[in-house]
Structure 1
Amino acid sequence: MARVLVERRLRDVGARLRRLREELEVTDEQLAQLEGEADDARIRALVSETPSAGREHSEAAGHADAMRRHRAAVAGEISQLEASQDELLDRLQASRA
Structure 2
Amino acid sequence: MARPVIERRLREVAGRLIRLRADLAVAEEQLAHLDDEADDARVRHLVAETPLSERGRREAERQAQAMARHREDLLAEMLRLEISQDELLDRMSVDG
TM-score normalised by length of structure 2: 0.99
2:48 corresponds to which residue?
A: 48
Shift of 1:12: 0.1
TM-score normalised by length of structure 1: 0.98
1:39 corresponds to which residue?
A: 39
Structure 1 outlier segments of 4+, above 4 Å = none
1:88 corresponds to which residue?
A: 88
Shift of 1:40: 0.2
Q: Deviations over 1:19-60 (max 9, x none)?
A: 001100000000000000000000000011111001000000
1:14 corresponds to which residue?
A: 14
- Equivalent residue of 1:77, what SS? helix
1:24 corresponds to which residue?
A: 24
Give me the whole-angstrom Cα distance separating, in 1, the residues matched to 2:52 and 2:8.
Answer: 55
Give me the whole-angstrom Cα distance separating, in 2, the residues matched to 1:77 and 1:6.
Answer: 20
Shift of 1:5: 0.2
2:68 corresponds to which residue?
A: 68
Q: When the two structures are aligned, how many residues end up with a matched partner?
A: 96
Give me the whole-angstrom Cα distance separating, in 2, the residues matched to 1:15 and 1:80.
Answer: 14
Give me the whole-angstrom Cα distance separating, in 2, the residues matched to 1:36 and 1:26.
Answer: 16
Structure 1 stretches lacking a partner, 5+ long: none
One-letter amino acid of the counterpart of residue 60, structure 1? A
One-letter amino acid of the counterpart of residue 22, structure 2? E
Give me the whole-angstrom Cα distance separating, in 1, the residues matched to 2:79 and 2:38.
Answer: 29
Please, what is the CA RMSD of the aligned residues? 0.4
Percent of paired sites with the same residue: 55
